[in-house]
Structure formats: C-alpha cells, structure tokens
Chains A and B, each alone.
Chain A
Amino acid sequence: MYYTHSLILSQQVRVVFNPSGEFSATATPVKEFTRDPSLPSLFNPATDFPPEPVLTIYIDTQPTSDTISLKTTDRRAYDDARMRAGLQPVGSSDPPASDAPDDVILYNPRDVVTESSVCNIAFYRNGRWITPPLAAGCISGVIRRWLLEQHRIFEAVEDELTLNNIKDGEWVLVSNGVIGCQLGRIKFHTSSKTE
C-alpha cells in the first residue's frame, strides 16, 4: 500500500553515537501519526475495543543469552530471532516469508520473556500491564521509561513473565521510540526450522 504526500514528511531518525565520541544521524520516511501514539497503553483487554492495527506476534523458538539494556548497532541476536520467525532483519528490502508475523518475542535461558526484536513488551496481568525488568535482559526503551513513570505499565518481579504463563491469543503491548505504542496478539506457532 502506498500513499502520496507533498508536505513535511514524518521520518524515522537513527542516531549513532560512536566510541570515538562522534555522533551521526540518518533519516528514512515513515507514515505519519494520525492519533496520539501513547493511547494503546490505556487499552483494557477486559472491557475495551482495541485500537487498530493489531499486530501478530510470535514467541521465539529458542532462548537468547546475554541481551543487554544498552541499545547498540550490534543487532545480531534480534536479527537471528527475526530470521527464525520468517522475518528479514530490520532495514532489509527483501520481503518476509508469506506467513511471517509482524514481530517476535525473545526469551532468556531461564524462559523469561524479555523483549521483541524491535520493541519493549508488556502483558496484561491482574488489571495492569506488566513489563519484564531490565535484569531479564531487555533494552531500556524510552517509551518503556515514560510508560513506567506514568504508571501505565509496571515492572514484573524477576521470572514472573515466563513462557509457561504466556497464552495463545493474549494481548501484548509493544513500544519503541519510533512507533510509540501498539497492540499485538500472541500467536503460537511451530518453526519448521527447529524440527
């Protein structure tokens, strides 16, 4: 789907801060917001009609070790998880697999879910959104920080969000500094690559 626009374009801006102390930035066009990107965090799965779009999100098929709270240009662990789900690395112009989800959630060797390949995550538990703690191995996202400060999400206790309490079809709130917040639903699947 395409649309045309001749005004100021909304853009994703990628800022890289090098070890030498230099920083640089690149921009790529994105579709403009048409509503407040924080609104999906107010969604109550028990009572509300969900705002569109609703993403389809897989759980990874194997654990990932040593993901850290820093966001860096080393995206290998995230790209590997995307490949296992049938997704291309972020920025690739190649098409994803026909049955690929929108995103995939990683988990650590203790079976604790950590984050998706491009977003922080939160699950709805006991009337509120719960997000993995940084110690589980997730990036300290800027929207995650804002949502915590606003009490729209809360940190899980360590090992609270394990694979065995994630349900097929359940809601997940995803967030990052480019999309803001969006909603998704977990879809269980079996990877043919691991069988």
Chain B
Amino acid sequence: MSYALLASTRYDPFLLSCAWNNDADGPSPYLLLHYQVDRLIASAALNGQALHDGLTLSNVKALCNKVVREHNDSFGGRALKVSTQ
C-alpha cells in the first residue's frame, strides 16, 4: 500500500456551542472528531491494515490538541493575518 489513511477535521471554539457536535467527553471544539476516529478504524479494517491500540478518540484528540496548541503558541499571541480565500 503506497498511501496512508487521512482524516481532515477542524478545531473551532464555535463548535463548543453546537450540542449536536458533542462526543463522549461533552462539548468538543473538533468537528465530529469521534466520527473521524470511527472512520479511521473502519477504513483500516477495510484496508487490511492491522488495528492499532493507540487509535482511540482520546489519543487522536490529544494529538490534535498538541498540534493546535503548538500552532497557536508559535504566533505568541501576535495578531496573525489569515487568508479567507
């Protein structure tokens, strides 16, 4: 297999106000991340890929929290220009 499984999600504090987006931990700033993890697990099985014990919602969320935090910290609270296009 020459490719990896992919999940593109979104971190957005606005989502904390969307009850339909809650997961087992309650409100989540990630858009349906628990569904993304479900799909990764199902896709790995379909793909004949060995299931990995680490592929859990809490682990994926911890990884996402880490990269989101690092990304925000790297701008050090400075105003950042973001393209909206």
Contacts and interface: CB of A to CB of B under 8 A. Distances in A.
Interface of A: 1-6, 8-19, 21, 23-34, 36-38, 69-74, 140, 142-143, 145-146, 150, 176-180
Given A10-B11, A31-B84, A73 B18 contact: no
Most chain A CB within a 10 A radius of its CB, from B4, B39, B55: B4
B80 A25 contact: no
Contacts, number: 174
A109 B63 CA distance: 40
Given A8-B72, A15-B63, A27-B71, A143 B79 contact: no
Given A15-B63, A23-B60, A32-B14, A1 B84 contact: yes
Given A8-B13, A11-B10, A29 B82 contact: yes
Interface residues of B, number: 53
A12 B8 contact: yes
A5 B67 contact: no
Contacts of B54: 21, 23
A178 B20 contact: no
B77 to A, nearest CB: 6
A142 B20 contact: no
